[in-house]
Structure 1
């Protein structure tokens, strides 16, 4: 029987990964505060070493391996940021790493993983296709470290919430990007234990929001993976999901969806008003605020989760060009 992930697991993970990850800053957003009438702060996790929060969970998982597991090497499936974090953590620990990805993953994210020293295998048109290759490698003896549904991954991601609550006291709302649920499960667990009255709101894209659709259905379901500016939020939750589906159900108060146009507007806002380069998945919380989908955010922390956007695409978006990801895929 699977064990519950606890606040103690979060504190243990924080101690374990100390020195391996950055403590990222929180910054006030005068422009978003003026727009919403609340006090809006941005948790700038895109400034993490590998450009996203994923390094926290990957580092905790790799550092928790036994010597025998390290000797066999690690493998994972990724839309980009988990793969980069896992590749970096494995390299630091001297562990072999293979990342399996679908053809939908942007080339810049593939290149970023290769730059960290991992082997990349491109398989099929979905995360599920790439997972089949992972399963083969696991059968050959490698250790799978998945992107979200894993206790050490979730505990590592949860350390972000411990930092946030030390940096900013008594938020009434926290906005967290939502995909497979590894981040929001960990963050939600910590916040509901330490600040129970704080609303935890997940934000995903309208195109292929697997966790949202699964929560609506009351169980994990298959959802078509579609091209989106929030590409890091793509992929399913796994029909055999052990942790994040139930943790999202327990710790998340609401899930909101944002459109491609709203995501693009948030990327532009982050650049021109906040002086931050962020990817589509990292912008969804800002998008939800700008579109008026968050009610009464009197003191709100927005998790900005990643910056690993293709810079040519970023230039087009901040220049005001209409970008149709469906046509470009």
Structure 2
């Protein structure tokens, strides 16, 4: 996906700012990279067994697409917090959808059971092939902006941030990687503060793709984020809404809340010691259109969501 220059953000920051348009992927988010890599690296016999994952929506959609392309079958376990437009797209791709509980942790229990019945687990972030697939974004950033100073990326379970950070810092160790997430239910932030993976309560959010835990048995993304992230920024719902509006009005891009958090962090002046050139990863565009219209027209929060 291309990196496009943002005249508005470059003017605001006084340094070049580019937008990495992962919202234009076939399945609407960066997740297609990791899912495709993971499916392709499975043994044929494992692909034939079928794959299972827990998802807040975008990984499930990507895995369903990648599995179908390789004549496999995906089962996606999700909580009731996942927006219905994402559930519908996953079903459209032929996956078996299981809606379980009100958190990713509850959905994970169903996925674990299905693994015991013979399916192959391909988790959304804590897996080497998933991380490597997302890391191709970092390689592309370096190809287009070899002197990149700062990469701003949404942060949830850490697969995207970890993959990009490894790729970028291997060639440009001085580049800064900034993770951005919502204020409430920020599992990686709570885990980093605690020094170990912890559970958090999940809340509805405009950045719904950033919800969910990182897994108490997290082996890869937690230690990678702890070492490789240079800063972590938290955003309110109104700040995320401002990012969505800016993306649409100024950049002509439709992005979901999780895809807008990098822009939102700049607009809120929450990134210290900003070093250019800057690349913001617009991670996804799978937003329910009625909600998007409401945000564009001035609503800061989804129905029932308190700031």
Q: Same fold (TM over 0.5)?
A: yes
Match of 2:3 among 26, 30, 36: 26
Native 8 Å contact 1:228 1:326 kept in 2: no
Which of 167, 177, 185 does residue 208 from structure 1 map onto? Answer: 185
Q: How far apart, CA to CA, are the structure 1 residues paired with 2:39 and 2:297?
A: 40
Q: In the alignment, is residue 268 of structure 1 matched against residue 219 of structure 2?
A: no
CA-CA distance at 1:280 after TM superposition: 0.1
Q: Residue 192 of structure 1: CA displacement? A: 1.0
Equivalent residues in 2 for 1:160-175, closer than 5 Å: 160-175=137-152
CA contact (8 A) 2:237 2:300 kept: no
Map 1:154-165 onto structure 2 (within 5 A): 154-165=131-142
Q: Residue 314 in 1 paired to residue 299 in 2? A: no
Identify the residue that residue 28 of structure 2 maps to in structure 1. Answer: 51
In 2, the alpha carbon distance for the partners of 1:327 and 1:317 equals 13
Q: Distance in 2 between matches of 1:37 and 1:157?
A: 29
Task: State the distance in 2 between where 1:229 and 1:265 align.
Answer: 11
1:199 to 1:322, Cα distance in 2 relative to 1, 3 A? closer
Secondary structure of the structure 2 residue equivalent to 1:307: coil
Deviation at 1:327, TM superposition (A): 4.1
- Give the corresponding residue for 2:235: 258
Deviations 1:46-86 (A, max 9, x none): 11110000000000000011121112100000000000000
Where in structure 1 are there 5+ consecutive unaligned residues?
A: 1-23
What SS does the corresponding residue of 1:309 show, helix, strand or coil?
coil
Match of residue 300 from structure 1: 278
1:155-203 deviations in Å (ceiling 9; x for gaps) = 1110111111101121111001000000011100111101111001101
Q: Give the Cα separation in 2 of the matches to 1:91 and 1:294.
A: 40
Counterpart secondary structure, 2:28:
coil
Aligned to 1:323: 301
For 1:43 and 1:299, locate their aligned partners in 2 and report how far apart those are by CA, in whole Å: 13
Are 2:226 and 1:249 aligned? yes
Q: Please point out which of 125, 132, 144 is paired with 2:121.
A: 144
TM-score by length of 1: 0.91
Whether the 8 Å contact between 2:207 and 2:256 is mirrored in structure 1 is yes
Please list every run of at least 4 consecutive aligned residues from structure 1 whose deviation after the TM superposition is greater than 3 angstroms.
324-328
Aligned counterparts, 1:74-93, within 5 A: 74-93=51-70
The answer as to whether partners of 1:88 and 1:116 remain within 8 angstroms in 2 is yes
Give 1:299 deviation, angstroms: 1.6
Aligned residues: 305
Contact 2:183 2:234 in 1 (8 A): yes
Moved more, 291-300 or 105-114: 291-300
Counterpart Cα distance in 2 of 1:195 and 1:115? 41
3-state DSSP of counterpart to 1:120: strand
TM-score (norm: length of structure 2):
0.97
d(CA) in 2 for partners of 1:68, 1:48: 28
Q: Counterpart of 1:134 in 2: which secondary structure?
A: helix
* 2:88 maps to 1:111: yes
Deviation at 1:321, TM superposition (A): 2.6
